[in-house]
Amino acid sequence: MTAVSFEHVSKIYPPRVTGWKGLFGTPPGKGLQALDDVSFTIAQGEFFGLLGPNGAGKTTLISVLAGLTRATSGRASVCGHDVITDYQAARRSLGVVPQELVYDPFFTVRETLQFQSGYFGLRKNDDWIDEILANLGLTEKADANMRALSGGMKRRVLVAQALVHRPPVIVLDEPTAGVDVDLRRSLWEFISRLNREGHTILLTTHYLEEAEALCARIAMLKRGRIIALDTTQALIDQAGVEDLEDAFVKIMNAEDPLVEAA
C-alpha cells in the first residue's frame, strides 16, 4: 500500500510586486519555481529520506502534503486521501514536526498535548500522552509552562504534538536541528520503534549520518527537482564512494541526475 504519493507536483510562488510600479500594473516577473514536476511514492511502513541543500524545495513539498500550501499543479495524497479533495482524512493520517518552534505560551506541556488531541476528537488520550512524554524525556516537564522550556525541550513537544493522534504517516522536518545528543538518541529510538510498528516516516535532515543509518530509501532535491531516487546503499554505490555524505556531495555536483523509477 502507498502511504505518500506525489504526482507531477509543481509550485510557483508569484513575484512580490511592491511600490508604485505594482500599483500601475508593471508586468510581474516569472516568480519563484520552488517545485518542478516532482513525482515519487513512499510505501507503507517505509523510512524515507528527503535530502537537499537549503532552498531545494523540501519544506515546500512537505507544506503541500500537509495542506499548508497548494501546489500550482499536480496531486499529493496521504494513505490514498487527496490532500485537497479529501483533506480531513489526509490530515488525520499525517503528523508533521516543523522546523520552526511554534507553540502557545499560555499552556503547559500536558495541556498542549491535550489540546492537540482535541483537534482530532480524542477525549481520552492520557495514557498515550503519558507514553509520549516518557519516551521523549518530558515527564518531569509535563506541568511546566511552554514559555519556561529550553529550545530543545520545545522541540520535543513539537514531536509529541505530531504523534499525539497516532498518525500512520509521520513527517520530520529537520527534527534534530540544534538539539542535544540525548534528545537525538531518544528521539531516534522512539521513532525507529514506531517505524517497526508500521508507521511510515518521511525525514528531512542535514545530518547525513542520520539519514544513512535510518532511511532505507532516499530522494535528493535540487532546485525543486528530483535528481536522485534510490535505496541508500544504491546511491552510495552509484556515486562510487564510501558513505552518504560523499555521495550527496557528488550527486549534487553532477550534471546528470541519478533518478530511478519512483
Q: Helices 151-163 and 181-196 meet at what angle, rounded to 10? A: 10
**Identity of residue 118:** G
The answer to whether residues 58 and 144 belong to one domain is no
- Residue 247's alpha-carbon distances to 46, 55, 107, 237, 238, in angstroms, are 21, 19, 44, 8, 8
The answer to whether residues 112 and 211 belong to one domain is no
CATH number at residue 89: 3.40.50.300
The answer to whether residues 9 and 82 belong to one domain is yes
pLDDT the model gives residue 155: 86
Per-residue pLDDT of the chain (262 residues; tens, 9 = 90+): 899 999 999 999 887 665 555 555 545 567 789 999 999 999 999 999 999 999 999 999 999 999 999 999 999 999 999 999 999 999 999 999 988 888 888 899 999 999 999 989 898 899 999 999 998 889 999 999 999 998 888 888 998 999 999 999 999 998 877 677 877 888 888 889 999 999 999 999 989 999 999 999 999 999 999 999 999 999 999 999 999 999 999 999 986 666 654 4
The answer to whether residues 189 and 78 belong to one domain is yes
Residue 109 is part of which domain span? 104-166
The answer to whether residues 78 and 52 belong to one domain is yes
Q: How many domains does the chain have?
A: 2
- Evaluate whether residue 126 is within a structural domain: yes
- Evaluate whether residue 99 is within a structural domain: no
Q: Are 10 and 74 in contact (CB under 8 A)?
A: yes
Q: Are 212 and 241 in contact (CB under 8 A)?
A: no
Cα–Cα distance measured from residue 180 to residue 201, given in angstroms and rounded to the nearest whole number: 21
pLDDT the model gives residue 63: 95
Cα–Cα distance measured from residue 244 to residue 248, given in angstroms and rounded to the nearest whole number: 6
Q: Are 108 and 144 in contact (CB under 8 A)?
A: yes
pLDDT the model gives residue 152: 82
pLDDT the model gives residue 29: 60
- Evaluate whether residue 242 is within a structural domain: yes
3-class DSSP state of 76: strand
User: 138, 166, 194 — which closes off a domain?
Assistant: 166
User: 119, 149, 166 — which closes off a domain?
Assistant: 166
Q: Are 139 and 158 in contact (CB under 8 A)?
A: no
Overall pTM > 0.85: yes
pLDDT the model gives residue 262: 42
The answer to whether residues 179 and 222 belong to one domain is yes
pLDDT the model gives residue 14: 86
The answer to whether residues 178 and 82 belong to one domain is yes
- Evaluate whether residue 98 is within a structural domain: no
Q: How many CB atoms lie within 10 A of CB 234?
A: 16
Q: Helices 151-163 and 126-135 meet at what angle, rounded to 10? A: 140
Cα–Cα distance measured from residue 21 to residue 165, given in angstroms and rounded to the nearest whole number: 48
The answer to whether residues 184 and 247 belong to one domain is yes
- Evaluate whether residue 203 is within a structural domain: yes
State residue 50 phi and psi, 5-degree precision.
Answer: -120, 110
The answer to whether residues 151 and 174 belong to one domain is no
The answer to whether residues 13 and 78 belong to one domain is yes
Q: How many CB atoms lie within 10 A of CB 225?
A: 18
The answer to whether residues 145 and 187 belong to one domain is no
Which long-range contacts link 174-180 to residues 24+ away (Cβ below 8 Å)? Answer: 174/99, 174/204, 174/205, 174/206, 175/97, 175/203, 175/205, 176/205, 176/207, 176/210, 177/99, 177/205, 177/206, 178/151, 178/152, 179/151, 179/152, 179/155, 180/152
- Evaluate whether residue 133 is within a structural domain: yes
- Evaluate whether residue 75 is within a structural domain: yes
Cα–Cα distance measured from residue 155 to residue 177, given in angstroms and rounded to the nearest whole number: 9
Cα–Cα distance measured from residue 220 to residue 228, given in angstroms and rounded to the nearest whole number: 5
The answer to whether residues 161 and 174 belong to one domain is no
For residue 110, give every residue at least 6 positions away whose Cβ sits within 8 Å of its Cβ, in sequence order, or none: 129, 133, 142, 143
User: 139, 166, 193 — which closes off a domain?
Assistant: 166
